[in-house]
Amino acid sequence: MTDIQNYDVAIIGYGPTGVTAANLLGQRGLNVVVLERDPDIYGRARAISTDEEVMRIWQTVGLADRLQEDMLPGGTVAFVDSHGKPFVQAQPTSRGAGHPPQQFIYQPAVDQTLRDGVDRFPNVTVLTRHECLKVNNAGSDVEVLAADLATDEFVRLRASFVIAADGGSSAIRGQLGIGYEGKTYSERWVVIDTKVLRDWEGSSRLRFHCDPERPTVDCPTPLGHHRWEFPVRDGEDENRLVTDEAIWEVLRSQGISDQNVEILRAVVYSHHVRVAERWRVGRVFLAGDAAHAMPPWIGQGMASGVRDAANLCWKLAGVLDGSLSESVLDSYQTEREPHVRETTDHAVFAGKTITERRPWVATLRNRILGTLAKAPAFARWLVENKWIPDAHYSDGFLGDRGNRARGWQIPQPWVLDEKGERVRLDDVVRGRWLVLGLDDRDAPQWRSAGVGRLQILPPGTTPGPDAVVDVDGVLTEWMDKHAASVVALRPDGFVYTASDSSRSLPNPPASLRVAAPAL
């Protein structure tokens, strides 16, 4: 048994959720330990896409540009019939987060870049080949027992808080007796990962083959990869379906030959729709797949875990540095669960559209959706209302309800900083509490709490200290749309409270005493 070490936060699991949390907490100067059972990055690509809000989160830890190098910006999403003819085509549109609205990824490359990012922080200790055996809430901290799989020794440590990001089969969730409500679909799916040797017609597009006989997802991924997914039909042998012979039967039916791709691997898995009944027990928090699981149809499983980390980590940092009351941590599930459930509903809707097995219903679907899709307004509605939900919180750690900007994430335009350099807004905000206004009105109650102020100037003006120019007028237009002349931003870029020009800005949280960020 080793000596007991003390940490601010222990992270269980080093997948995308855990490694994002490690970057966010490491950047804020917290003493963090990560426990990961596996010795290295999981080699199989699981997640295949991400979105602009997630890239914005990774931007806050200085990794977005590096990650972008290994990504493939998404284009038109096509729903095609059994003959490969599109009946609906939709183009994801930007919501103003400052990055492409959809990007295809190769997850091992993403994981490596995020882990390289953690290596920047000497205050983050990463223990691979360490399996967490037990967590125990013990008053003001959490006792953690782990096994060093390399030496067969036990390791004990203490942390003020624990983030359990240990996947859908989370052992920590089971230890805490937390229910995982929902269902697992009986239909199993084959996933085929390939290396691209020669491009083919449509190889750069995401296509949902809505064929009742064999529904298939056909998706490009960067760094010379491509993926197909299709369901196991009744009576089919799963073991045979992952053989090269069976895989080529499927690929050749879509015109793909061994001149186009090399098969790397094939696995069979199940789709899940589940949400943990509690995301917090004492000082232990569930995040990512440990807290929720959804089908992959709109590529939001990994993204939802990253959003969890972004929501939780600044709150943990605020509690630990004394700038926030511990009660703020109760808002984590309140804020995140509705978005997760709505996203899951959207994924289920997409899956039902793609996998309809009754030929007559599929024919009717194609005709109706094909007719509606001729109207540009329908395609926009489909993307805006049945794809990724807006970044918005209705309830949680939010202030006065008097302004409709409350609870929304502000857009991220290009601005001119005080040096006259063109930068993204978040690179000026730097993950801190901030009062953002279209005029120079003072907010004394926020100033007394240690919150800085930034004025947004219109295009064509000159920036200065604590004033940036909204180059294209994007933020000015957004604030006008929400009838807000001044907003108080949380460190995650969501509006805590806001007001128009006729009212003063509502007061900050009673406990807020901002400490200088360790950035």
> Domains, the chain, ranges and CATH?
5-71+105-181+273-330 (3.50.50.60), 414-499 (3.40.30.10)
371 Cβ contact partners less than 8 Å away, ≥ 6 residues apart: none
- The count of residues in the chain is 519
pLDDT in tens, the chain (519 residues): 557 899 999 999 999 999 999 999 999 999 999 999 999 987 766 888 999 999 999 999 999 999 999 999 877 888 999 888 998 888 788 888 999 998 999 999 999 999 999 999 999 999 999 999 999 999 899 999 999 999 999 999 999 999 999 999 999 999 999 999 988 877 788 999 999 999 998 888 889 999 999 899 999 999 999 999 988 888 889 999 999 999 999 899 888 999 999 999 999 988 889 999 999 999 999 999 999 999 888 889 999 999 999 999 999 999 999 999 999 999 999 999 999 999 999 888 888 888 888 999 999 999 998 898 888 778 777 766 667 888 899 999 999 888 999 999 999 999 999 999 999 999 999 999 999 999 888 899 999 999 999 999 999 999 999 999 999 999 999 999 999 999 999 999 999 999 998 899 999 998 898 865 444
Nearest to 23 by CA among 107, 118, 163: 118
Dist CA 57 CA 123 (whole Å)? 20
The conformation of residue 288, written as its DSSP 8-state character, comes to G
Whether residue 233 contacts residue 249, with contact meaning beta carbons closer than 8 Å, is answered with: no
Tokens 């605020």 sit at which residue? 318
Tokens 């004033």 sit at which residue? 467
Tally of CA atoms within 13 A in the half-sphere of 23 that contains its CB:
27
Dist CA 476 CA 482 (whole Å)? 10
Secondary structure class of 489 (helix, strand, coil): strand
Dist CA 519 CA 516 (whole Å)? 9
- Name the H helices within 387-509: 426-429, 444-448, 474-481
What pTM was computed for the model?
0.94
What does the block give as tokens for 454? Answer: 């930034």
For helices 301-320 and 331-354, the axis angle rounded to 10 degrees is 180
Nearest to 216 by CA among 347, 81, 368: 81
User: What residue type is 54 in one-letter code?
Assistant: V
471 Cβ contact partners less than 8 Å away, ≥ 6 residues apart: 413, 414, 415, 416, 422, 459
